[in-house]
Structure 1
Amino acid sequence: MPKIHPDHASDGGPRLAHSHAQEGEIPGTVDLTAAEGDDTAYGQALYPVPSEDPNDPLQWPTWKKNIILVIVSVFSFLGNSSLVGPSVYIAIYSEEFGVSHAAASGLISYPNLAFGFGSLLLVPMYLKFGRRLVTLLSIATFLAGLIGASRATSFAGLMVARVFHGFGSGVCESLPVQLVNDVFYLHERGKKIGYYTICLCLGSTGPLYAGYMLAGGYSWRLFFYVEAAFAGALLVLAFLFVEESAYKRQTASSPPVASGEKTDAPAEEVEQVRAIPRRKAFVETLKPWSSINHEEEFFLTILRSFSYFLVPAVFWVITSYGIYIGLGALAFNYTFPLKITAPPYNWSPTNSGLIAVATAVGFALAIPFTATSDKLAAHLTRRNNHIREAEMRLPVMLPAMLIAPAGLIVYGFTAERNLHWMGYFAGVAMDQFGSYFYFTITLAYAVDSYYANTSEMLIAMNLGKQAISFGMGSYLLDWILESG
């Protein structure tokens, strides 16, 4: 059956997508057998099944979906780059505020912890009060924290501002995944989460920009000025384009009722007389708030999230994700400046952020493989009589499972023997190549497995991975200064 684009009919006019896909009894399985008249992708029916309502996020035009993805992805880049960028300023903070290097590194570790724990409150908030409201509030909080950091005159003041903007941007790792879940189909998730992951991962290049601002003779404050300027522009774009994507999709037997309409007629008769609601006007989509979802239990959502630490598949995602963040965002950015500025290398501190180039190279080499998990899963689904299973994405990860640990060995061996500086770059590039697969495919796998409880799972993932990465970085400087 040929693939039909969901946004436009053959005559060029707008149309609504249709599908008869069905979720299986086992979580993570979906019957994607296409019926006559279904829209398809890779020869399989679309899932989730879209409603007839043009306000259903699945029925939004592609440009609308993509611009929302771009906005939240850039938010993720800014959030992550603002967290790790100041790692090149640790020595400067130590001297300026009269604290030890280990204490100054807390300006990286503690905001990183707040970044993870922010989702504990922000995710239940966007379930209860809407994605749009929390998006705007989070970016505004992020912006306020950056402005505070740029004007801080004491160590305590800078720490508070850093924790504040870390907390505000904490939702930027769960919100993009939730929005991908809201507005894109199953066959698109791997690719779309991959695009978001690119921005998430490139955020770890923040030290590169921060270092070269110093090299240009500017104060460390410039980094926060620049981040704040981009955050302000992002807030405006989010207000204009990030429409509320929370949508209670009706079943086929109970299609959506037009506003104000009530009927007791049988479903078959209602199907014939009920009109499809009109698409909201642009001005209507600008309302910052939406109706409160009284079915969502705020505190119960928080409590339920902790149960996911007991789910083996989710625990695997949490630990692997956290370890790679701890390595990429903290361990490499802490250890490389210490090694490369000491003999026999003797690089200047302003060039110590160049390790971010290796990170960018590793991610760039991985980007061409972004859609591979979607394609492999579609191929295996056809072989499995059109029954999709969440694990069908995972074989793509095999190369990453071998290359990333090899990269750690290369990096560690180079540091131990003071080998050529290219060894550091090769090790980091190999590790970050592998981390891209873990960040992208494990996340898509987890979302596929627990579609109905994605939000609780995302809370557990953010808490767990940031706690692990915090643990890896909090005493790292003391450890390597004592033990090498």
Structure 2
Amino acid sequence: MEEEKTPHADVVVFELPVITQETTDGDLTVVLQPTSDPADPLNWSCFWKRIILIQVVAMSMVAAFASSELGPGYGLVAKDFHIPINTATYHASALGTGSAIGTLLWTSVADAYGRRLVYLITGLAGFLAVIGESLASSFGVLLVCAAFKGLATAATSVLPPLSIADIFIRHERGARIGLWCFAVLKTNFRRDRGALGPVLGGIMMHAWGS
């Protein structure tokens, strides 16, 4: 890949896969462009790009639901494990702690080993953590499973924007990022804003709770 010197001493402009645009104030904007390689994600067909987008959005919605559906049921948790309801809310703290660690971890792992591997690992880990929560025999086990669930589902908070940027050119990303944000926000915590996770979780607990 050849390089071209510019009047800006600290700026080097490369040929493809980037182009540069000069702004009115003389600064240079670098814009990524597809290469000639058919394996370049930016060159994939619209069909496959949409399939990947649907998968990413769906996985994020499932993770958001799994992270928020227990919110209305802390009273049942307190009753089942014979603990104060304030103690039952430690579940949210364990979930948040795992999520905080995961958001720092998964981006670096994905950059080093690829997005697909992280999606597969965290998807399986999140599934097992939810099963563990449902079978928990003590509140301590529930907290451990919640922490691992937060760690796993954190991947869907940080990787989807990167995946969208991998396969869509800059001017195509806005609507896709907006769709992902809308799906996650309408599934996650805020009951006062019509989030589906706590609402559906409350219905399930009302129907099948102890």
* Aligned residue number for residue 122 of structure 1: 106
Show the counterpart of 2:20.
Answer: 22
Structure 1 residue aligned with 2:44? 60
Q: Does 1:93 align with 2:84?
A: no
> Which residue of structure 2 aligns with residue 196 of structure 1?
180
Measured against aligned partners, the alpha-carbon deviations of 1:445-471 in whole angstroms (never above 9, x if no partner) come to xxxxxxxxxxxxxxxxxxxxxxxxxxx
SS in 2 for 1:93: helix
Q: Note closer, same or farther for the CA distance 1:206–1:52 as it changes in structure 2 (3 Å cut).
A: same
Q: What is the rounded CA distance, in whole Å, between the counterparts of 2:71 and 2:28 in structure 1?
A: 43
Distance 1:125 1:19, change over 3 A: closer
Residue number in structure 1 paired with 2:92: 108
Matches of 2:92 and 2:112, distance apart in 1: 31
CA contact (8 A) 1:88 1:211 kept: yes
Q: TM-score, normalised by structure 1?
A: 0.36
Once the two structures are TM-superposed, the CA of residue 109 in structure 1 deviates from its matched residue by 2.7
Q: Decide whether aligned partners of structure 1 residues 155 and 183 sit closer, same or farther in structure 2, where only a CA change above 3 A counts.
A: same
Change (3 A) 1:19 1:165: closer
Q: Which residue does the alignment assign to 1:282?
A: none
Q: Following TM superposition, by how much is the alpha carbon of 1:214 offset from its aligned partner in structure 2, in angstroms?
A: 2.4
After the TM superposition, list the runs of 4 or more consecutive aligned residues in structure 1 that deviate by more than 4 angstroms. Answer: 23-26
The 8 Å contact of residues 76 and 203 in structure 1, kept in 2 or not, is answered as: no
Q: Quote how far apart the aligned CAs of 1:29 are.
A: 6.3
Q: CA RMSD in A?
A: 2.3
Q: CA deviation at 1:76?
A: 1.2
Higher relative contact order (CA 8 A, sep 6+): 2
Q: TM-score, normalised by structure 2?
A: 0.81
2:204 equivalent in structure 1: 213
Distance of 1:116 and 1:29 partners within structure 2: 36
| Identity fraction in percent | 26
| AA in 2 matched with 1:125 | V
Aligned equivalent of 2:5 = none
Q: Which whole-Å CA distance do the structure 1 matches of 2:40 and 2:50 have between them? A: 15
Structure number with greater Rg is 1
Structure 2 unaligned regions, length at least 5: 1-15, 189-195
1:184 matched residue in structure 2: 168
Assess, with a 3 A threshold, how the Cα gap between structure 1 residues 61 and 90 changes in structure 2: closer, same or farther: same
Distance of 2:18 and 2:82 partners within structure 1: 65
Deviation of 1:110 (Å):
2.1
Q: 1:86 to 1:29 in 2, by over 3 A?
A: farther
For the residue of structure 1 that corresponds to 2:154, the secondary structure is: helix
Matched, 1:148 2:132: yes
The alpha-carbon deviation at position 112 of structure 1 amounts to 2.2
Change (3 A) 1:67 1:116: farther
Alpha-carbon distance in 2 for matches of 1:144, 1:108? 18
User: What is the Cα deviation at residue 59 of structure 1?
Assistant: 0.2
Alignment of 1:338-377 (within 5 A): none
Deviations 1:215-249 (A, max 9, x none): 32x137xxxxxxxxxxxxxxxxxxxxxxxxxxxxx
Structure number having the greater strand percentage: 2
Task: Deviation per CA, 1:74-118: give whole Å up to 9, x if none.
Answer: 111111111111011111111221222221111123202311320
Match of 1:167, as an amino acid? L
Counterparts of 1:137 and 1:111, CA distance in 2? 18
Give the secondary-structure state (helix, strand or coil) at the position aligned to 1:118.
helix
172 and 24 in structure 1: CA distance in 2 versus 1, 3 angstrom threshold: farther
How far apart, CA to CA, are the structure 1 residues paired with 2:20 and 2:55?
A: 31
8 A contact 1:21–1:49 mirrored in 2: yes
Q: Distance in 1 between matches of 2:87 and 2:22?
A: 52
Q: Deviations over 1:315-337 (max 9, x none)?
A: xxxxxxxxxxxxxxxxxxxxxxx
From 116, 121, 124, the equivalent of 1:132 is 116
